[in-house]
Structure 1
Amino acid sequence: MAGEYQTVYADWKRAPEAFWRTAAGAIDWYRIGEAVFDADADVYGRWFPGWETNTCHNCIDRHVEAGNGDRTAIIYDSPVTGTKRRITYREAQGEIATLAAVLRAKGVEKGDRVIIYMPMIPEAVFAMLAVARLGAIHSVVFGGFAAQELATRIDDCGARIVISASCGIEPGRVVAYKPLLDHAIELCAHPPQTCLIFQRPQLAAEMVDGRDIDLASAVAAAKARRETAACVAVAATDPAYILYTSGTTGQPKGVVRDTGGHMVALAWSMRAIYGMEAGEVFWSASDIGWVVGHSYIVYGPLLAGCTTVIFEGKPVGTPDAGTFWRVIQEHDVKVLFTAPTALRAIRRDDPEGAHVARYDLSQFRGLYLAGERADPETIKWAERLLHVPVIDHWWQTETGWAIAANPAGIERLPIKHGSPTVPMPGYEVTVLDHEGHAVAPGTLGNIVVRLPLPPGCLVTFWNADARFRTACLEEFPGYYKTADAGTIDEDGYLFIMARTDDIINCAGHRLSTGGMEEVVARHPAVAECAVIGIHDTLKGQVPCGFLVLKAGVTQDLSVIRREVIELVREEIGPVAAFKSALVVERLPKTRSGKILRGTMQKIADGLPWKMPATIDDPAILDEITAVLHAEEAHHK
Structure 2
Amino acid sequence: MDYKEVYSAWQADPDKFWMQAAEKIDWDSKPSKALFDGDAPHYEWFSDGMVNTCWNAVDRHVEAGRGDQIAIMHESPITHSTKGITYKELQTRVASLAGALKMRGVEKGDRVIIYMPMIPEALEAMLACSRIGAIHSVVFGGFAANELAVRIDDCTPKAIIAASCGLEPGRVVHYKPLLDEAIELAEHKPEFCVIFQREQEVAKLIEGRDFSWHGFQYGVKPADCVPVEGNHPSYILYTSGTTGQPKGVVRHTGGQLVALQWSMNNIYNIEKGDRFWAASDVGWVVGHSYICYGPLIAGATTVVFEGKPIGTPHPGVFWRIIQNNRIKSFFTAPTALRAIKREDPTGEWIKRYKLHDLQALFLAGERADPDTVEWAQKHLNVPVVDHWWQTETGWPIAANPIGIEELPTKVGSPCVPMPGYDVQALDEGGHPLPPGELGAIAIKLPLPPGTLPTLWNAEDRFNKSYLEHFPGYYETGDAGYIDEDGYLYIMARTDDVINVAGHRLSTGAMEEVLAGHPDVAECAVIGVADDLKGQSPMGFLCLNAGCNRPENEIVKECVTRVREKIGPVAAFKLACIVDRLPKTRSGKILRATMVKIADGQDWKMPATIDDPAILDEITQALKTLGYPKG
Task: Report the TM-score range of the alignment, normalised by the length of the smaller protein.
Answer: over 0.9
Q: State the Cα distance separating 1:46 from its structure 2 match.
A: 0.9
Specify the alignment match of 1:524 in structure 2: 518
Counterpart CA distance in 2 for 1:456 and 1:193 is 31
Counterpart secondary structure, 1:26: coil
Aligned to 2:346, what secondary structure does the other structure show?
coil
Equivalent residue number for residue 479 of structure 2: 485
Q: Deviations over 1:90-119 (max 9, x none)?
A: 000000000001111111000000000000
Deviations 1:358-403 (CA, angstroms, capped at 9, x unpaired)? 0001111010000000000000000000000101000000000000
* Matching of residues 436-451 of structure 1 within 5 Å: 436-451=430-445
CA distance in 2, matches of 1:70, 1:54: 22
2:537 counterpart residue number: 543
What SS does the aligned partner of 1:515 have?
A: helix
> For 2:371, which of 372, 377, 386 is the aligned residue?
377
What is the distance in 2 between the residues matched to 1:621 and 1:509?
29
**Coordinate RMSD, CA, aligned:** 1.2
Corresponding residue number in structure 2 for 1:69:
67
In the alignment, residue 159 of structure 1 is paired with which amino acid? P
1:81 and 2:79 are equivalent in the alignment: yes
Residues of 2 paired with 1:106 and 1:465: CA distance? 31
CA distance in 2, matches of 1:151, 1:204: 23
Given the alignment of the two structures, is residue 348 of structure 1 paired with residue 342 of structure 2, yes or no? yes
Indicate the residue corresponding to 2:169 in structure 1. Answer: 171
2:609 is the alignment partner of 1:622: no
SS of 1:114's partner is strand
* Secondary structure, counterpart of 2:23 in structure 1: helix
Are the equivalent residues in 2 in contact too, given 1:339–1:370 (CA < 8 A)? yes
1:463 corresponds to 2:463? no
Other structure's SS at 1:460 match: coil
- Select 2:427's aligned residue among 428, 433, 450: 433
- Tell me the residue number matched to 1:58: 56
CA distance in 1, matches of 2:247, 2:168: 28
Q: 2:504 aligns with which of 487, 494, 510?
A: 510
Which of 552, 557, 565 is 1:558 aligned to?
552
Measure the CA separation in 2 of the matches of 1:479 and 1:374.
26
2:35 matched residue in structure 1:
37
Contact 1:405 1:421 in 2 (8 A): yes
Residue ranges of structure 1 left out of the alignment (5+ in a row):
none
Q: Which residue of 2 aligns with 1:197?
A: 195
Distance in 1, Cα, partners of 2:557 & 2:210: 59
CA distance in 1, matches of 2:367, 2:481: 14
- Structure 2 match to 1:113: 111
C-alpha separation in 2, matches of 1:358 and 1:34: 54
Secondary structure (helix, strand or coil) at the match of 2:28 reads: coil
Partner residue of 1:568?
A: 562
Task: Give how far 1:159 is off.
Answer: 0.5
Cα deviation for residue 42 of structure 1 reads 6.5
2:206 aligned to which of 185, 205, 208: 208
Distance 1:60 1:633 in 2: 55
Q: Is the 8 A contact 1:199 1:216 kept in 2?
A: no
Q: Secondary structure at the match of 2:491?
A: strand
Contact 2:599 2:627 (8 Å CA) reproduced:
no
Counting matched residue pairs gives 630
Q: Which runs of 5+ in 2 are unaligned?
A: none
Which one is further off, 83-92 or 42-51? 42-51
Provide, for residues 501-535 of structure 1, a one-character-per-residue CA deviation record: whole Å limited to 9, x for no partner.
00000000000000000000010000000000000
CA distance in 2, matches of 1:509, 1:165: 51
- In structure 1, the partner of 2:155 is 157
Contact 2:240–2:246 under 8 Å retained in 1: no
**Structure-2 change in CA distance of 1:510 and 1:570 (3 Å):** same
Secondary structure of 1:527 counterpart:
strand
Instruction: State whether structure 2 residue 397 is matched by structure 1 residue 403.
Output: yes
> Structure 1: which amino acid aligns with 2:456?
W
Deviation at 1:445, TM superposition (A): 0.3
In 2, Cα distance between the equivalents of 1:34 and 1:166?
45
Match status 1:233 vs 2:227:
yes
CA deviations over 1:123-148 (Å, ceiling 9, x no partner): 00000000000101000000000000
Partner of 1:423: 417
SS of 1:624 mapped into structure 2: helix
Q: Does the 8 Å contact 1:348/1:549 carry over to 2?
A: yes
The correspondence for 2:580, drawn from 575, 578, 586, is 586
Letter in 2 for 1:381: W
**Residue 292 of structure 1 aligns with which residue?**
286
What is the Cα deviation at residue 602 of structure 1?
Answer: 0.6
Aligned match for 1:278, one of 272, 276, 284 = 272
How far apart are 1:635 and its partner, in Å?
Answer: 10
Q: Give the deviation of 1:41 after TM superposition.
A: 3.2
Q: What TM-score results when the alignment is normalised by the length of structure 1? A: 0.98
Give the residue type in structure 2 aligned to 1:337.
F
Q: Provide the TM-score with structure 2 as the length reference.
A: 0.99
Post-superposition offset of 1:193: 1.0
Q: Name the residue aligned to 1:142.
A: 140
> Contact 2:282 / 2:291 at 8 angstroms: preserved in 1?
yes
Q: Distance in 1 between matches of 2:466 and 2:116?
A: 30
Identity %: 62
Amino acid at match of 1:437: H
Residue 113 to residue 326, structure 1, CA distance change in 2 (3 Å): same
